[in-house]
A and B are shown apart, each in its own frame.
Chain A
């Protein structure tokens, strides 16, 4: 068995969380005010998946990495400026609506359809990566649905690490209830891995990688397929922010005891 992988990363995009974000409800349902104004970045789960994919590919000669992302073409283009220097990949863009309130089934269908027609993709080598809770408002649904549509039965969610073995199988460190981890062994590809935070730091920007990536990314963007996601009766009755209010202070050099005391006080006050 060849030990190379074909890794497809489903990468959800969100507005840069460092921007001022303001929820709003418009004609098309809930959303973020002026979202088209705001720079787009990978959601944190998808970013973990994106960092893990080239890392795994580098250890297995002949592996390839595709990044599949759905969003307005302009936002995908913007995203590429921030990620394309970090790792080699091929982009599969899907020109679709913005916002995190689209129907997860419709999103999954669009993603699965795009993945199914990637030229040269060998399904027997396919590892479907993505963010654990991407594009589903924390529900953790989309990636599973994509996997099911592609007929992949082995699925892992909340993954923090995988260790490939010589026989093609791999060990998965997966988050489970109660703050614990579960270790599973998967016989091999194809499999779905929904990443939590992983263990890798954000890769350095490598200008040479960026320059090479862009030679294929820009033509791919120009040919991006447009999709309109059917709501299929999905309706939001109400949307609200968590009641918790942010109280931010910038304090340095606090001792561990002081931090612990503050945390206890905060928990007791809740």
Chain B
């Protein structure tokens, strides 16, 4: 350790708590709600006495990196079975932007433009459907006559994650047992001295250093991140959280290969809109075959409309924002959205490996819940209720251990938390979904068939395949045909001539029409950053995106990290390396898995660290 590092360690403060929690999302909401509800019923129960502050209640602290608890990004539809179980008699009117699911429809979208890279089978399907005319096709869309049972969200809720989190947090804080601190990123777990892949042990968390320059070096007002030592560390920092990633790396478990970027807008509809709150649309087929879409209707003429761009879309030009603009202009959507106003916009990485990406759920002194623990069900397209329920399961387990005066060892957590999870509907669903989407890695049609098989047989049948690492899922330009190469060269020229992003120019070269901006709903990506809530980057923290091997970046032709960057925070630097401006970063984490040239072919050449700031939008 250098003398400078020694000085930092000398200044580093330490605090002890009973339970330290990382990340405040639905999973943590479920965990803390379970804990606080039990405490409210019997506050005098000795099980709730703090070990580190005798005579006081449990000291439970939760740290969230976003500037506000309402800054999460997602409009969701969920069956809400777990959520409703936690709040019997839940009235959606209590939660802003929430509504009971009233109607579900599934649309196959034809391509009204003719620019999408559709496989031959889809082109044939489009041709056949068009032959049948209005009998089957209306507004360039074919509505499935029924919604597959596995997709149904009957009895569920449509809501905004931001508003839901805010609502849950208000109740938790009012209860008084737990403290939740936004704008406080956690940089890493603190491993026990003897901890390794066989002896998994965590003794707390380290908060991010404050008062540092963008490279993390001490600057004015330097304050080393505090060590928060805890009897139990609960990790629920989502798909790209620094603590969860560090645990998976150290313990060599939890390989995440399937990802998607969810990008959406919240739109205020025209006053004459007839869309009923609680309406849910699922779409597929447009703007590319690989891109699925959704429209959820909230109260007060607000809708969440968006797309999922998956890692198995092998094309390097994953320009999610441009695709989203084409998506909302599809005739079946546009007839409702035209004349609307953009209220909010945002993006988030979704960890879609599910059961296959599951890490160790617990070790000595720690447990993992939510999306980062592999709870998302990609067959049903559901993650929020699953995440919430894993939090509830851990909450019940912790109560059992506290009441039994048992410590938070790996064995005890396995006996309580993991046992509950394995016996639950979350686990059953995860197993059914485990290989449901494998087929997409070998083709869209094969993917749809595999998904239908898994869905209709509850996972007994599926089209299994070996999943490549995320970097290897990106097909290099040089592997594409001559025609594509020519388009790429034309796009490079267009980008140079017009000073626009290369991937955007590539889509134009491929035949996608330019977006006709209206200043209300169709706006530039930078305007979306400003209109849909604004991005803030706290100056006291280090940059949270770093490029490891810059020579590798210079030699990269795909630049998918630039194409996929939701806020255009990563751009082409003058020397050929990507340049990062955190003032535009919405913390979606897409850069992490959109790197085509990882140093070892497996992990990314981009490091995504804990950082404060991000998009301020309470309607997401």
Chain A interface (Cβ within 8 Å of chain B)?
Answer: 16, 18-20, 34, 36-39, 74, 77-78, 80-82, 85, 201, 204-208, 210-211, 214, 218-219, 221-222, 248-250, 252
Given contacts A81-B182, A205-B183, A207-B228, are A37 and B531 in contact (CB under 8 A)? no
Q: Which of A37, A201, A219 has the most CB of B within 10 A?
A: A37
Are the C-beta atoms of B344 and A20 separated by less than 8 Å?
yes
Please pick, from A20, A80, A221, the residue contacting B533 in the complex, using a CB distance under 8 A: A20
Among A77, A201, A205, A208, chain B packs the most CB atoms within 10 A around the CB of A205
Residues of B186-241 contacting chain A, CB below 8 A = 207, 210-211, 221, 223, 226, 228
Q: What is the CA–CA distance of A19 and B532 in the complex, to the nearest angstrom?
A: 8
Q: Which residues of A contact B534 (CB under 8 A)?
A: 18-19
Q: Nearest Cβ in chain A — how far from B585, in angstroms?
A: 12
Neighbouring A residues of B181 by C-beta, 8 Å: 81, 85, 205, 207, 210
- The answer for the CA separation of A211 and B61 in the assembled complex, in Å, is 8
Q: Check if B617 is an interface residue, CB within 8 A of chain A.
A: yes
Q: How far is the CB of A21 from chain B (nearest CB, A)?
A: 10
Stretch at the interface among B39-47, B170-178, B406-414: B170-178
Q: How many residues of B contact A (CB 8 A)?
A: 51
Given contacts A38-B618, A206-B226, A250-B583, 9 further A-B contacts (CB under 8 A): A19-B617, A20-B343, A39-B616, A74-B170, A77-B170, A81-B180, A201-B221, A204-B540, A211-B59
- Which among B15, B61, B211, B581 is the interface contact of A252 at CB below 8 angstroms? B581
Query: Does B616 contact A19, Cβ atoms closer than 8 Å?
Result: yes
Give the residue of B67, B173, B581, B617 whose beta carbon is less than 8 angstroms from that of A77: B173
Instruction: Give the shortest distance, in Å, between A203 (CB) and chain B (any CB).
Output: 9
Contacts of A210 in B (CB 8 A): 179, 181
Question: What is the minimal beta-carbon distance from A207 to any residue of chain B, in angstroms?
Answer: 5
Taking Cβ atoms with an 8 Å cutoff, the residues of B that contact A are 13, 15, 17, 59, 61, 63, 67-71, 96-97, 163, 166, 169-170, 173-174, 176, 179-184, 207, 210-211, 221, 223, 226, 228, 343-344, 526, 530-536, 540, 581, 583-584, 616-619
Knowing A19-B533, A77-B173 are in contact, say whether A204-B210 is a contact too (CB < 8 A).
Answer: yes
- Cβ distance B223 to chain A, nearest Cβ, rounded Å: 5
Report whether B173 and A85 are in contact in the complex, using a CB–CB cutoff of 8 Å: no
Q: How far is the CB of B239 from chain A (nearest CB, A)?
A: 23
User: Is there an interface contact between A208 and B15, defined as CB atoms closer than 8 Å?
Assistant: yes
Closest 6 CB pairs of A and B: A18-B616, A18-B534, A39-B68, A204-B210, A218-B176, A204-B223
Complex alpha-carbon distance, A16 and B219, angstroms: 28
Please measure, in the bound complex, the distance between the C-alpha atom of A208 and the C-alpha atom of B207, giving whole angstroms: 12
| B176 engages A222 (CB within 8 Å) | yes
The reply to whether A208 and B96 contact each other, CB–CB distance below 8 Å, is: no
Q: Does the CB pair A207–B619 fall under 8 Å?
A: no
Cβ A37 vs Cβ B173 within 8 A: no
Query: Which single residue of chain A is at the shortest CB-CB distance from B226?
Result: A207
Evaluate contact between B166 and A39: CB separation under 8 angstroms: yes
Query: Which residue on chain B has the smallest CB distance to residue A214?
Result: B179
Alpha-carbon separation in the docked complex, A120 to B387 (Å): 47
Q: A19 CA to B615 CA in the complex, in Å?
A: 9
Knowing A204-B223, A210-B181, A222-B176, say if A20 contacts B532 (CB, 8 Å).
yes
Q: Can you name the residue of chain A whose Cβ is closest to the Cβ of B266?
A: A20
Nearest Cβ distance between residue A188 and chain B, in whole angstroms?
Answer: 31
Are A18 and B536 CB-contacts (below 8 A) given A38-B618, A205-B183? yes
- Inter-chain CA distance A201–B223, complex, in Å, is 14
Interface pair A19/B618, CB less than 8 Å apart: yes
- Complex: A225 Cα to B619 Cα, angstroms: 30
Complex CA–CA separation, A248 to B526 (angstroms): 9
B540 and A37 form a contact (CB under 8 A): no
**In the complex, what distance in Å separates the CA atom of A201 from the CA atom of B343?**
31
Question: CA A270 – CA B68 in complex, angstroms?
Answer: 37
Q: Specify which chain A residues have a CB less than 8 angstroms from the CB of B71 in the assembled complex.
A: 39
Chain A residues whose CB sits within 8 angstroms of the CB of B583 once the complex forms = 250
The answer to whether B531 and A20 touch across the interface, beta carbons within 8 angstroms, is yes
CB-nearest residue of chain B to A249: B526
Contacts of B226 in A (CB 8 A): 206-208
**Which residues of chain B have C-beta atoms less than 8 A from A248's C-beta?**
530
**Do residues A34 and B96 form an inter-chain contact, with CB atoms below 8 A?**
yes
Residue of A nearest to B536 (CB): A18
Contacts of B97 in A (CB 8 A): 37
28 residue pairs A–B, Cβ–Cβ below 8 Å: A16-B618, A18-B534, A18-B535, A18-B616, A19-B534, A19-B618, A20-B531, A37-B163, A37-B618, A38-B618, A39-B68, A39-B71, A78-B169, A78-B170, A80-B173, A81-B169, A81-B173, A85-B181, A85-B184, A201-B221, A205-B184, A207-B15, A207-B63, A207-B226, A207-B228, A211-B59, A222-B176, A252-B581
Question: Nearest CB to that of A85 among chain B residues?
Answer: B181
The answer for the CA separation of A205 and B616 in the assembled complex, in Å, is 19
Contact B616 A16 (CB under 8 A): yes
Chain B residue, CB-CB nearest to A218 = B176
> From residue B568, how far is it (CB to closest CB) to chain A in Å?
9
Shortest beta-carbon distance from B389 to chain A in Å: 25
A201 to B70, CA, bound (A): 25
Q: Which of A38, A80, A82 has the most CB of B within 10 A?
A: A38
B residues in contact with A38, CB < 8 Å: 70, 618
Contact residues in B for A221 (Cβ distance below 8 Å): 174
Could you tell me if B70 and A39 are in contact, using CB atoms closer than 8 angstroms?
Answer: yes
| B95, chain A: closest CB distance, angstroms | 10
In the bound complex, do residue B15 and residue A37 qualify as a contact, i.e. CB atoms below 8 Å apart? no
CA of A207 to CA of B208 in the docked complex: distance in angstroms? 11
